[in-house]
Amino acid sequence: MKGDVVATSVFCLILLAGGTFLYFAISRTIETVNFIQNSELTTGYISGFEVAYNTNTSDSSSDTRYTQVLFVDNRGANVYIRSSSSSSFTTDRIGDEVEVRYIIGRSNEARIASFFLDMWGLTLLFGLFGIVFTAPGIVFVWNALYDVITNLTSK
């Protein structure tokens, strides 16, 4: 009996965590769609790479690189942004063209539209964790309801 209470509590916490992740995924999806609808699309150019060194190994191939992009906003100002996603390797070269989205007046909050993870990465991460945590909770609730219904109908 005590084990049932513990299991129920654990699955409720897992379901709560999954629901929270799904909430953030939906919230982030709405925010990204609004950003896309209200932003301007322009061309930017890769200006360099910011390297984040991995201090745990001496292997330089495990270092990650963030792409730095230069674009000109609607006021004619040069704006430098950094990608929010990184990689240990890149096929991009300095000078390559990329699409950039920004909201007029908030150029520093621009996103690199050509990079899928810059636009949708956080949404996918929250959604993945939401599904992983919610699925066992839903199965548990389904089984609990099935047991209750079975017990009620067998009496």
What pLDDT, on a 0 to 100 scale, did the predictor assign at position 60?
53
- Per the CB < 8 A criterion, the answer to whether 81 and 108 are in contact is yes
Distance CA 135, CA 139 (A): 6
Rounded to 10 degrees, what is the CA torsion of 145, 150, 152, 153?
140
Task: Supply the pLDDT for residue 117.
Answer: 79
Q: Of 57, 56, 62, 104, nearest to 79 (Cα)?
A: 104
SS3 state at 143: helix
Which strand ranges, in their side-by-side order, compose the sheet holding 40-52?
Answer: 78-87, 64-72, 40-52, 97-103, 106-112
Instruction: Output the pLDDT for position 148.
Output: 79
Q: What is the pLDDT along the chain (155 residues), one digit of tens a residue?
A: 566 677 777 888 888 899 999 999 999 999 999 999 999 899 999 988 887 776 665 555 567 788 899 999 888 889 999 887 776 666 778 888 999 999 988 888 898 888 887 888 889 999 999 999 888 877 877 887 788 788 888 76
Q: For the chain, what's the residue count?
A: 155
CA distance 23 to 12: 16
Residue type, 51: V
Q: Which pLDDT value is given to residue 31?
A: 93
